Structure 1
Amino acid sequence: MFLLCFLLGAKADQPADRLIGRWQFPSKGSSVDIYKKGSLYFARVAEVDQAGEQNFGLMKDSLLIYNLRYDGEVWSGGRLIHPKTGISLSVEVQMYRPQAIDVTVYKGIKLLHRKFTMTRQEF
């Protein structure tokens, strides 16, 4: 029994799971909850301020990012659905510090991208 509890506890502490939590957009008014389902990571809109709603079309509880995979260094292979346009974009997430992630969004080639930093929201 002890071994089973130890193994289950170790599984939840995987390096990839550092991404799980609430992350604020650069403006600090809107945020997403990143969660894991199976071996994939998803981001659902948690809080929306007026600017996030007007400028980007964010809606509370809508799925923003889906199917991110961790390769040992970055979370990639996922898709972001732009809330205002409905366009599907590639997304990659890198964590340089436990309290900040860099999100890179691009369509087609990564050379043409938009990058922004999100900060972990403490409860």
Structure 2
Amino acid sequence: MTLCALFIAVAVFAQADPILGKWENPSGEGRIEIYKKGDKFFGKLYWIKDSGKKDAKNPDPAQRNRNIQGLEILSNFKKESKTYVDGTIYDPKSGKTYSCKMTLKGNDQLDIRGYIGISLLGRSETWKRIK
């Protein structure tokens, strides 16, 4: 009976949210760690190529001197099958925050779609999982 419980626990763990983990953007300039708080998903820039870079384009002058490395750039996503919706993404290069959805492609690619208003008006990029 204990062995059966162990297999069930392993199966449940294996079905944990596949989006969790570390990802790299297409340019290789940034790495993002996606994690879960409660029932929502978030992501922070845990590494950037220029680690001393400041958030100079932030619309809030009080935030412009903070480091970009360590910023939470993905916020408040909820899971709908292999898509994560109703969240936002902050772009430190422009200082703008966009609506965003993320879609898993297999286990090693994550399509990120930032947009204003409706999803058709935006841009996409594909992040790769860091192994």
With the shorter chain as reference, the TM-score category is 0.7 to 0.9
Match of 1:42? 42
Pairwise CA RMSD: 2.7
Q: Percent identity?
A: 25
Task: Flag the structure with higher helix content.
Answer: 1
Match of 2:110? 101
User: TM-score, with normalisation over the residues of structure 1?
Assistant: 0.80
Report whether the alignment pairs 1:33 with 2:33: yes
Q: How does 1:1-123 map to 2 (within 5 A)?
A: 11-14=12-15, 17-50=17-50, 53=53, 59-122=68-131
C-alpha distance in 1, partners of 2:87/2:10? 27
| Greater Rg by CA | 2
In 2 relative to 1, CA 91–101 (structure 1 residues): closer, same or farther, beyond 3 Å? same
Paired residue total? 119
Deviation above 6 Å: which 4+ runs of structure 1? 3-8
- State the shift of 1:29 in Å: 2.9
Gaps of 5+ in 1: none
Q: Secondary structure at 1:18's aligned position in 2?
A: coil
Gaps of 5+ in 2: 58-66
